[in-house]
Amino acid sequence: MTAPALQAHYDVVVVGGGQAGLSVSAHLGERGIGHVIFEKNRIGHAWRSERWDAFCLVTPNWQCQLPSFPYAGPDPKGFMPRDAIVAYVEDFAAHIGAPVHQNVGVSRVGREGGRFTVETEAGTVTADAVVMAISAYHKPNAPTMAKHLPSGIVQIHSSAYKNPDALPAGAVVVVGSGQSGCQIAEDLHLAGRQVHLVVGSAPRCPRVYRGRDAVEWLSDLGQYDMPVDRHPKGEAVRRQANHYLTGRDGGRDIDLRRFAQEGMRLHGRLTAIEGTTLRFGDDLVTNLDNADRVYNGICALIDKHIADSGIDAPSGQPYAADWQPDALSDALDLAGAAVSTVIWATGFRSDWSLVDLPLCDEGGYPRHSRGVTPIDGLYVVGMPWLHTWGSGRFLNVGRDAAYIAARIAERRTITAATRSGVDLARLAS
């Protein structure tokens, strides 16, 4: 895409050209609000460069609902692979004619007087409003103990993993059992690699239950539209790991107990690295049981919905564990187990330091209400649970973007009225 020439001032600057920033652009464009997008890499960068070769969505294609650009392919109940996801985002950008400057990073967002100052690699511009559409996954995270791994062990973050053949021969330790950790462990396991998976507290979800994908049932139940302030956990849900399952090969459960029966080694949380020895906690059974409890809780929720609605559906049975660790090992000798690689599937850290304004709370999370921050004219979008469970997905990111665009339009109307001396009370009535 050819970006328009850089202007000195914009009505709105959007920082980030992923699906969130592009969705904001689509809605601003519909309202005729001038804007520009600065994307520090290429469009689709995270999908293209920070996912492994066999990666695919864990939500079905019909949930890809970018503004006026829903999935239109032949397999709405399938799961897009990595390259198709990249193409979907790129095609969306072209469809809306997004005014995006690719490979232009933003180094600072500040404010001088009544305007924002946005410093970029292509120059400094000013703006009446700024939308930060940079997600919440900024810097790969690994525990400080990672520095104690022996120098002969290759260690990478999950965002750098590509395929089993790209790793040196030998066993692999995957630290973390969220969506990425479990799927990477499966990818290695299916390739015949000896895998040691360090299991954390992430929950799991059924893929198909009582004749339908669980996502379809949960959508019918309104789970993806539940606002964060109505969730039983409140804002704490924003820190909760996503449920693990996979869309690979048409979609299926991820059952760590079955993997263990097939030879994968499961361990509790990593507690220490001592020389060539990894030390683990005694919480493996608890973590497996809790994940299964969530799985069965989702099944029970679906059962109740079916019963209450009188739906004719096939019968279903809760998950029953048929494997338990017979002896918990609290240590793994890397040399003795022929481990060559450790993959840190331990998430990301947020870094909002480029916003030179009092945006974040003590924990480093942006203060906002549905993406509207306390700083007049500054907005955030594209983060998990910004407003609903679907906020960080293709499903509801467009809805969040529409809300932000509407707030920007309202602010513009009020500002214009104020400058022209219009009676705001009479305008509101």
- Alpha-carbon distances of 142 from 47, 157, 179, 268, 403, rounded to whole Å: 21, 7, 16, 17, 35
Co-location of 202 and 331 in the same domain: yes
Whether residue 318 sits in one domain with residue 209:
yes
Q: Which of 254, 214, 184, 243 is nearest to 77 (CA)?
A: 214
Q: Does 1 reside within a domain?
A: no
User: Which one of 344, 379, 413 terminates a domain?
Assistant: 344
Do 396 and 274 fall into the same domain?
no
Residue 30 lies in a domain: yes
Classify 80 as helix, strand or coil.
coil
Burial class (CB in 10 A: 0-12, 13-18, 19+), 336: exposed
Does 271 lie in the same domain as 331? yes
In a domain, 4, yes or no: no
Phi and psi angles of residue 190, each rounded to the nearest 5 degrees, phi first: -65, -25
CA–CA distance, 408 with 374 (Å, rounded to integer): 14
Q: For the domain that residue 166 is a member of, what is the CATH number?
A: 3.50.50.60
Q: Are residues 148 and 205 in the same domain?
A: yes
Shared domain for 246 and 173, answered yes or no, is yes
Boundaries of domain holding 255: 140-344
139: which strand partners? 349
Q: Are residues 132 and 158 in the same domain?
A: no
Q: Are residues 417 and 297 in the same domain?
A: no
Burial 160-191 (b: 16+ CB within 10 A, else e): ebeebeebeeebbbbbbbbbbbbbbbbbbbee
From 316, 344, 372, give the residue that closes a domain. 344
| 107 and 167 share one domain | no
- Residue where a domain stops, chosen among 344, 361, 379: 344
CA-to-CA distance for 37 and 4, rounded, in angstroms?
10
How would you write the pLDDT of the chain (429 residues) with one tens digit per residue?
A: 567 789 999 999 999 999 999 999 999 999 999 999 999 999 999 999 999 999 999 999 999 999 999 999 999 999 999 999 999 999 999 999 999 999 999 999 999 988 999 999 999 999 999 999 999 999 999 999 999 999 999 999 999 999 999 999 999 999 999 999 999 999 999 999 999 999 999 999 999 999 999 999 999 999 999 999 988 888 888 888 889 999 999 999 999 999 999 999 999 999 999 999 999 999 999 999 999 999 999 999 999 999 999 999 999 999 999 999 987 778 999 999 999 999 999 999 999 999 999 999 999 999 999 999 999 999 999 999 999 999 989 999 999 999 999 999 999 998 888 777 755 555 555
Asked, for residue 3, whether it belongs to a domain, the answer is no
> Is 337 inside a domain boundary?
yes
Both tokens of residue 406? 């509407």
145 and 294, same domain (yes or no)? yes
How many domains does the chain contain in total? 2
Q: Strands 123-132 and 339-344: what pairing?
A: unpaired
Same domain, 315 and 397: no
Number of H helices, E strands in the chain: 9, 21
Between the two ends of the chain, the Cα-to-Cα distance in Å is 44
Write the single-letter amino acid at 160.
A
Best CA proximity match to 204, nearest among 173, 260, 242 = 242
Sign, CA torsion 115/116/118/119: positive
Do residues 267 and 162 share a domain? yes
Distance between CA atoms of residues 291 and 255, nearest Å:
10
Kindly state the greatest CA–CA separation across the chain: 79
